[in-house]
Structure 1
């Protein structure tokens, strides 16, 4: 999936979560957008990879693409590191939800992800699509509709 779809996935996940929890919606949704991009730090052509090129190339040379940074192990590591630098539960939850949405979206592609890394098992949906194709545009539209639908409740009640 492309960066814009990952951002919208993080926004959709955290907008829904903001309506179901007492977490601060501003921090939650802001962090969700960031979390939606974080796993692609392993890809130098991604939005986040272009922002941090040296780190991106280093991670890619060690792990490759869609392995460690697309795994539950990486999710736990990021959660641990965030807990060392902040106690903002809304921010941490937003990053985690954004990353989880990224994993889910990339599982919809033919390449899939190594969710259980270092175990070499590829996780993907039975029906997959290619990155940047027509199906991704439909997914992006659906995520946008979800975000707007749940976002209106936050604006009206918040």
Structure 2
């Protein structure tokens, strides 16, 4: 998926969680947007990779793309580290929701992800699409509509 789809996936997941569980939607959405971009630190041309080129190049050269940073192991390690330093639950939950949305969206692409890294087994959802195509535009539109629905519910 492209960066804009990941961002909207983070927004959609965070507004939904805030709606159902009463977290602060502003803090959740801000942290979820960041969380939705973090797994692509392994890709030097990604939105976050271009912002942190040295770190991105290092991670990419060690692990490659869609391996460690797209795994449950990375998600759990990040959750543990975030729990040590973040005191606001809205920020912590938003960060994790954004990262989880990224993994789910990339698992729905042709290449899939190595969800169980260090295992080399690729995980891909039964229904998958090509990154950057018309189907991704439809996913982006659906995530935008879903976000608007939950934002409207939060404002009511």
Q: Would you say how many aligned residue pairs link Structure 1 and Structure 2?
A: 156
Which position in structure 2 is the counterpart of 1:105? Answer: 105
- Cα distance in 2 between the residues matched to 1:41 and 1:86: 21
- Cα distance in 1 between the residues matched to 2:137 and 2:72: 27
1:127 aligns with 2:127: yes
Relative to the length of structure 1, the TM-score reads 0.96
- Cα distance in 2 between the residues matched to 1:21 and 1:129: 31
Q: Deviations over 1:100-134 (max 9, x none)?
A: 10011001111100000001110002232111000
Which position in structure 2 is the counterpart of 1:47? Answer: 47
Deviates more, 1:117-126 or 1:53-62: 117-126
What are the ranges of 5 or more consecutive residues in structure 2 without an aligned counterpart? none
Please tell me the root mean square deviation across aligned C-alpha atoms, in Å. Answer: 0.8
* 1:85 CA displacement: 1.5
What are the ranges of 5 or more consecutive residues in structure 1 without an aligned counterpart? none
- Cα distance in 2 between the residues matched to 1:150 and 1:45: 31
Relative to the length of structure 2, the TM-score reads 0.97
Deviation >2 Å, runs of 4+: none
